[in-house]
């Protein structure tokens, strides 16, 4: 039960916090005298009632008392089958999140105010908008997990506090730069060449092409079978005719084994960045995703329908491809205007 006591001529309330699992104290702001002692006792009774009401409410909701550390371990266990890149994002989030929240503290300290304060504090870091959005996105997923398993009561973050995703310009290879990249491939080894052409002529993600083997390629019907780590699905897709002789030569070299021999997907990115720097193209914002964006852009410019492109590039939802098409439409309209003669 909440009780009162005198300290330095001031009346204090002492109580046991069942959510934190420890005793707490606070000043009533009342100077010690008989009248104020009566007031303080009434305050203690009302304060205890409010605690009991909250305890009963949480008991009815089935709220469990666990440490933040335990909830994080549980969250990572539930999501252990996700893509390694996604797991990396989770770990990066928790590393920053636990700079504010002590992992030994009870999960009930994660509430609307504390989460909003944490989000606001991120503004002191020199993060890009989409990095802040990524932290925000993982926080929401973690909170939904805490709600689902009754670790904390449900609440909603203020919309003015959460970070929005920044829609950036679509950067694609210019025709001149693409020619430069292709014309200098003779200076690179076969491993780099086949990786370059697979990305360019299929529009697939680096993680999609990374584990393609020679046995997955049907040269006669010009199709490739691959497993998407992102969508956790197998796909059969056609490939461009210009890729056939390149794959034929590579299969002659590696047989049924992996077409790409980089130790990690990250090493593909490093190799491409070195190539861009060699050609003085490293300041243009190009990266491995540029291949995919270029492929979709060219498909749009050549009037390939949305549903077909979505299947070719392995988008799980056609709405994902539609976002590209909607943003690219203005580019196509601009090109069409060139036909207008005055």
Would you call 329 helix, strand, or coil by DSSP?
A: helix
Buried b (16+ CB within 10 A) or exposed e, 129-146: eeebbbbbbbbeebbebb
In sequence order, what are the residues at sequence separation of 6 or more whose Cβ sits closer than 8 angstroms to the Cβ of residue 43? 4, 13, 28
Nearest to 149 by CA among 110, 188, 199: 110
| Residue 28 contacts residue 38 (beta carbons within 8 Å) | no
User: What is 112-165 written as a DSSP string?
Assistant: HHHHHHHHHHGGGS---HHHHHHHHHHHHHHHHHHHHTTSS------TTTSPPP
Residue identified by tokens 């203020």 is: 158
Under a CB-based contact definition with an 8 Å cutoff, are residues 251 and 219 in contact? yes
Please list, in sequence order, all residues whose beta carbon lies within 8 angstroms of the beta carbon of residue 242, skipping any fewer than 6 positions away. 201
Per-residue pLDDT tens for 215-251? 999 999 999 999 988 778 888 999 999 999 999 999 9
Strand partners, 12: 5, 27
Which string of DSSP letters, residue by residue, matches 57-117? HHHHHT----BHHHHHHHHHHHTTTS-HHHHHHHHHHHHHHTTTS-TTSBGGG--HHHHHH
Tens-digit pLDDT string for the chain (342 aa): 778 888 888 888 887 776 666 688 888 888 888 898 888 888 888 878 887 777 676 666 555 668 899 999 999 999 988 878 889 999 999 999 999 999 988 888 899 999 999 999 998 888 888 899 999 999 999 999 999 888 888 899 999 999 988 777 778 899 999 999 999 999 999 999 999 999 999 999 999 999 999 999 999 999 999 998 877 888 899 999 999 999 999 999 999 999 999 999 889 999 999 999 999 999 999 999 999 989 988 888 888 888 888 888 888 778 777 777 666 666 666 666 666 666
The answer, as to whether pTM is greater than 0.85, is no
| Distance (Å, whole) CA 287 – CA 234 | 25
């Amino acid at each position: 039960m909440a009780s009162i006591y005198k300290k330095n001529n001031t009346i204090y309330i002492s109580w046991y916090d069942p959510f934190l699992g420890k005793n707490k104290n606070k000043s009533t702001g009342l100077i010690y005298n008989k009248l104020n002692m009566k007031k303080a006792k009434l305050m203690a009774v009302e304060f205890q009632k409010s605690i009991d009401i909250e305890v009963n409410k949480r008991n009815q909701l089935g709220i469990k008392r666990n440490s933040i550390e335990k909830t994080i371990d549980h969250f990572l266990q539930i999501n252990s089958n996700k893509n390694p890149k996604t797991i990396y994002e989770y770990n990066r989030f928790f590393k920053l999140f636990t700079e504010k929240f002590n992992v030994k503290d009870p999960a009930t300290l994660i509430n609307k105010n504390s989460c909003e304060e944490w989000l606001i504090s991120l503004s002191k870091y020199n993060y890009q908008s989409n990095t802040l959005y990524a932290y925000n996105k993982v926080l929401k997923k973690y909170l939904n997990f805490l709600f689902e398993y009754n670790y904390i009561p449900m609440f909603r973050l203020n919309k003015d506090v959460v970070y929005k995703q920044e829609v950036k310009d679509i950067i694609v290879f210019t025709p001149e730069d693409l020619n430069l990249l292709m014309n200098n491939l003779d200076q690179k080894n076969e491993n780099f060449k086949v990786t370059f052409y697979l990305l360019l002529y299929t529009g697939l993600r680096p993680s999609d092409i990374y584990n393609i083997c020679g046995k997955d390629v049907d040269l006669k019907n010009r199709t490739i079978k691959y497993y998407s780590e992102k969508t956790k699905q197998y796909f059969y897709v056609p490939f461009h005719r210009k890729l056939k002789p390149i794959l034929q030569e590579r299969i002659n070299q590696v047989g049924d084994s992996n077409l790409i021999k980089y130790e990690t997907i990250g090493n593909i990115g490093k190799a491409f960045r070195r190539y861009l720097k060699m050609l003085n193209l490293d300041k243009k914002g190009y990266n491995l995703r540029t291949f995919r964006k270029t492929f979709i852009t060219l498909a749009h410019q050549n009037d390939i329908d949305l549903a077909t492109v979505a299947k070719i590039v392995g988008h799980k939802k056609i709405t994902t491809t539609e976002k590209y098409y909607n943003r690219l439409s203005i580019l196509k309209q601009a090109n069409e205007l060139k036909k207008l003669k005055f």
